[in-house]
Amino acid sequence: MENVLLSVRNMSIHRGKEEIVRSSSFSVYKGAITALSGESGSGKSMTALAFAGLLPQGFSASGSIVFEGQDLLSSDMDMGNIRGRGIMLMLQSAAEALNPVYTIGHQIKTVLRINGLECSDEAVLGLLSDAGIADAFDKYPYELSGGMRQRALAAFAMAPEPRLLIADEITSSLDDENAHMIMDLVMQMAMARESSVLMITHDLALASQYASRIIVMHGGQTVEEGDAYDVIHSPKHPYTELLLRSSELVQDQSGKLFSIKGHMPRPCDEVIGCSFASRCPYCIEDCSRPMDIRFSGSHSWRCIRA
Ligand code: SF4
C-alpha cells in the first residue's frame, strides 16, 4: 500500500534455539500514530530493537522489515544510514539514554551535527523550548527531575526529525499526570515534524488515547491488528478482550483489579497453534493446530473463534 512506511513480514527473532518473536507481520503507516501493545514479555521491545538494528548480541532477526522500500534485514544494509533521520528510538529510561557526563545542550548539539543538521545554540534552544525546558541547555541529566529528563529525551529523540519515531514505554516510570504530559508533548513534537510514531506500551487505555491503529502481541505473536476504534470497541481476539479488562477502560464494578491468568509461552516453548491457548477461556482442541490469520477490511486477528 502506498501509505505504508514500514512493512513487517514473517519476522522472527531468535536467541539460539529460543524464539522471542514468532513470524510477526504488520504495517506502520505514514503520518500516523500506531501502538504496539501487549503484556511485558510479549516481544514488543525486541521488535522495536530489531527495527532500529539494535538487537543485543546473540539475537538475530529473520523475515523482512521493509522501511521506505529498503529491507532492513538484508545483509548489505548499513543501519547507520537509517538511524537518526530515518528511525529514532526513544527509550523508557531517560537516566540510561542520556550521557551523565555531558550537558543536555551538548548532547542535542551532537545528535544534530551527526545527522547533518544545523547545530547552533539557537537550534538547540529551539528544540529545548519546544520541549518546555528552555533553561536545561547547561544542565546535566542528574540536575533534572524525572519529568524534565523525559522532556530532554523527547528533544533529543526529535532533534533529527526522524521519519519514524519509536517510543518504547516512555511513560512507564512516570505518574499519571506526568505520563499524559509527556505523551502529549512527544506526539505534538512528532506531528509538527511530520514524523510517524510507533508507540510501544503495555497499556491499551493509553494506546487508545493516541493511536489511530493498534497492534496487539502475545507470546511473540501478532494476535490482532486494526484501526484503534475497531480493536477497542470490537476486539476479535480473546487476549485483546482480557487486556482491555485489565486496563482502566473496562473497570470491574466490585472495584477488584482484573489480571489475566496464566503465563505466556516461554521463548524455549514450541508454539504450533495459538500462543494464548493455555490462558484462553474459549480454547478448544483445534486451537493447538496451525491457523490462518482472519480479516475483515483492515482488521485482522489470529483466532479460530471470531
Ligand atoms: S485460537 Fe482458540 S485459544 Fe486462541 S484465542 Fe482463539 S479461541 Fe482462544
Q: Indicate whether 182 pLDDT > 70.
A: yes
Check if 304 has its Cβ closer than 6 Å to any atom of ligand 1: yes
Check if 305 has its Cβ closer than 6 Å to any atom of ligand 1: yes
Q: Is residue 291 part of a domain?
A: yes
Q: Indicate whether 253 pLDDT > 70.
A: no
Check if 276 has its Cβ closer than 6 Å to any atom of ligand 1: yes
CA of 105 to the centre of ligand 1 (A): 51
Q: What pLDDT, on a 0 to 100 scale, did the predictor assign at position 257?
A: 72
CA of 253 to the centre of ligand 1 (A): 26
What range does the domain containing 217 cover?
Answer: 4-86+165-170+196-301
Q: What pLDDT, on a 0 to 100 scale, did the predictor assign at position 250?
A: 58
Distance CA 227, CA 126 (A): 34
Mean pLDDT, residues 124-135 taken together: 96
Q: Is residue 271 part of a domain?
A: yes
Pair 43, 14: CB distance under 8 Å: no
CA 284 to ligand 1: nearest atom: 2
The share of the chain scoring above pLDDT 70, in percent, equals: 96
Q: Is residue 183 part of a domain?
A: no
Q: What pLDDT, on a 0 to 100 scale, did the predictor assign at position 177?
A: 84
Q: Is residue 175 part of a domain?
A: no
Mean pLDDT, residues 207-224 taken together: 96
Residue of 282, 293, 302 best suited for mutating to test ligand 1, as the one with most atoms within 8 Å of CB: 282
Residues 6+ apart with CB under 8 A from 162: 84, 85, 86, 87, 88, 195
Check if 293 has its Cβ closer than 6 Å to any atom of ligand 1: no
Check if 165 has its Cβ closer than 6 Å to any atom of ligand 1: no
Domains: count for the chain: 1
Q: How many CA atoms lie within 13 A of 49 on its CB side?
A: 17
Q: Is residue 128 part of a domain?
A: no
User: 46: domain CATH number?
Assistant: 3.40.50.300
Check if 303 has its Cβ closer than 6 Å to any atom of ligand 1: yes
Interval 216-249: pLDDT, tens: 999 999 999 999 999 999 999 999 999 998 886 5
CA 274 to ligand 1: nearest atom: 4
CA 281 to ligand 1: nearest atom: 8
| pLDDT band of 132, cuts 50, 70, 90 | very high
Q: What pLDDT, on a 0 to 100 scale, did the predictor assign at position 163?
A: 97
Q: What pLDDT, on a 0 to 100 scale, did the predictor assign at position 153?
A: 94
Q: Is residue 266 part of a domain?
A: yes
Which strand (E) or helix (H) includes residue 190?
Answer: helix 176-192
* Helix pair angle (176-192, 146-158), 10° resolution: 20
CA of 296 to the centre of ligand 1 (A): 18
Distance CA 303, CA 306 (A): 6
Interval 68-94: pLDDT, tens: 999 999 988 999 999 999 999 998 776
Residue found by looking up cell 529473520 in the block: 62
Residues 6+ apart with CB under 8 A from 2: none
Total H helices, total E strands in the chain: 9, 12
CA of 305 to the centre of ligand 1 (A): 6
Interval 35-60: pLDDT, tens: 999 999 999 999 999 999 999 999 99
CA of 255 to the centre of ligand 1 (A): 28
CA of 264 to the centre of ligand 1 (A): 13
Pair 162, 84: CB distance under 8 Å: yes
| pLDDT band of 254, cuts 50, 70, 90 | low
Interval 146-177: pLDDT, tens: 889 999 999 999 999 999 999 999 988 788 88
CA of 180 to the centre of ligand 1 (A): 34
Q: Is residue 292 part of a domain?
A: yes
Q: Is residue 45 part of a domain?
A: yes
